């Protein structure tokens, strides 16, 4: 099956070539890469290609974890490549430097041992008659690539120079996607598009999303760095404040911060309450001990730490006892006492009740606190 050969410049492309599947990457025409060769079939294929000076077909695997892929495990469209140089590595594997020549479609497998040989159909770019439009799309894509080069570490100066010197729209879309850290599926989708204008549109869409991801990553990194700088600045200022307080003899007055910290560490506060308390303690540590706000904050923390968190008692709903206690402690207040007894009676009859919580409202000195104490 060597009839009807296709030509790419000075190289004749037969309609059957050795096929080498590659993992987790898509190889494009005009791309130049070192390809790691370790699988037995691939090693045999590369040796054959070097000995016979033949072209090879490079196709991406659908699943990179498959060690011995069959025809259904690889994509149908790949890239014809020249093997330029092969280097033997100490572990027995090889590194082959290959250059993409053009696209092809895999029609069928003709041989699987000692390596795969496939019948192929060479694919050509479909040029758009509106050359001005394709050139404009290519220029826009190059501009996006230039923007991304300022954000992405994987885009090197060599990549920028290479793209800057390109003029063919189809090649521009191919190599920009080749240099971009996007998924195998997205790269393969671009590889399979023969219409140059459609390929440029698809590459622009993919690259725009990639650029947005880079910009978002830079924004997040900047915000994180700002937080780190802020924390370092606060730490430095606190150390300076402690030194000044020692010089003024005020540091000992603020030593009760450590006592509160110890009580907080030993307490059994709920997580939400602990966050509030730690935030207030951090605020307290930055206040001058003689300020009025310091006293308010300290009292607030003492109040939080004095509450019986995670401690509970069993309710004893003894209505006669509550009635007796309320009458003994309070004269009058009949409406309030009646409402309390009604509430407790319902609680006693319906133990799983999740009804309203009683709220005693009134001006100071009318007996709200003493009523609650009597019930308790």
Band the pLDDT of 364: cuts 50, 70, 90. Answer: confident
Residue linked to tokens 């023969």: 194
| Residue 140 in domain | yes
| Residue 314 in domain | no
Same domain, 75 and 162: no
φ and ψ at 299, to 5 degrees? -65, -40
| Residue 23 in domain | yes
Rounded CA gap, 27 and 81, in Å? 9
Same domain, 34 and 108: yes
| Residue 240 in domain | no
Residue predicted with more confidence, 280 or 2? 280
| Residue 1 in domain | no
Same domain, 113 and 136: no
pLDDT at 59 over 90: yes
| CB 197 within 8 Å of CB 128 | yes
| Residue 230 in domain | no
For the chain, how many structural domains are there in total? 4
Residue span of the structural domain in which 81 resides: 6-123
| Residue 233 in domain | no
| Residue 182 in domain | yes
pLDDT at 1 over 50: no
Average pLDDT of the residues in 358-363? 75
- Helix locations, the chain, DSSP H: 40-52, 131-149, 157-164, 169-178, 184-191, 196-248, 256-266, 271-285, 292-306, 319-329, 334-349, 368-375
Length of the chain: 376
Same domain, 105 and 28: yes
Same domain, 45 and 110: yes
- Which of residues 306, 330, 351 is at a domain's end? 306
Rounded CA gap, 25 and 119, in Å? 22
Range scoring the smallest mean pLDDT among 97-101, 189-193, 245-249, 282-286: 245-249
pLDDT at 3 over 60: no
pLDDT at 10 over 60: no
pLDDT tens column, 110-164:
888 888 999 999 999 887 778 889 899 999 998 888 888 777 777 878 888 888 8
Predicted TM-score of the model (pTM):
0.56
Residue predicted with more confidence, 226 or 368? 226
């Amino acid at each position: 099956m060597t009839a009807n050969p296709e030509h790419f410049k000075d190289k004749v492309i037969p309609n059957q070539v050795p096929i080498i599947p590659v993992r987790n990457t898509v190889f494009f025409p005009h791309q130049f890469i070192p390809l790691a060769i370790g699988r037995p079939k691939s090693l045999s294929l590369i040796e054959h290609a070097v000995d016979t000076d033949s072209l090879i077909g490079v196709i991406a695997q659908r699943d990179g974890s498959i060690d011995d892929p069959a025809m259904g495990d690889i994509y149908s469209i790949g890239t014809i490549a020249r093997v330029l140089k092969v280097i033997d590595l100490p572990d027995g594997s090889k590194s082959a430097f290959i250059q993409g020549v053009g696209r092809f479609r895999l029609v069928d497998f003709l041989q699987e041992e000692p390596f795969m040989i496939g019948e192929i159909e060479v694919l050509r770019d479909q040029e758009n008659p509106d050359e001005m439009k394709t050139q404009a799309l290519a220029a826009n894509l190059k501009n996006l690539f230039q923007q991304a080069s300022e954000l992405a570490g994987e885009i090197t100066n060599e990549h920028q120079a290479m793209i800057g010197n390109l003029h063919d729209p189809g090649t521009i879309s191919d190599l920009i996607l080749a240099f971009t850290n996007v998924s195998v599926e997205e790269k393969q989708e671009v590889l399979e598009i023969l219409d140059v204008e459609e390929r440029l549109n698809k590459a622009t869409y993919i690259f725009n999303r990639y650029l947005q991801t880079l910009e978002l990553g830079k924004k997040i990194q900047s915000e994180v760095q700002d937080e780190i700088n802020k924390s370092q600045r606060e730490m430095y200022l606190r150390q300076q404040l402690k030194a000044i307080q020692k010089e003024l003899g005020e540091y000992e007055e603020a030593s009760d911060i450590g006592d509160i910290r110890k009580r907080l560490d030993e307490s059994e506060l709920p997580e939400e309450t602990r966050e509030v308390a730690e935030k207030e303690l951090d605020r307290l540590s930055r206040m001058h001990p003689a300020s009025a706000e310091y006293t308010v904050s300290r009292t607030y923390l003492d109040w939080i730490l004095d509450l019986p968190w995670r401690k509970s008692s069993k309710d004893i709903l003894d209505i006669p006892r509550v009635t007796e206690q309320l009458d003994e402690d309070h004269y009058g207040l009949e409406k309030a006492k009646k409402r309390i007894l009604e509430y407790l009676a319902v609680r006693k009859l319906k133990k799983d009740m999740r009804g309203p919580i009683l709220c005693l409202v009134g001006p100071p000195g009318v007996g709200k606190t003493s009523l609650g104490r009597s019930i308790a």
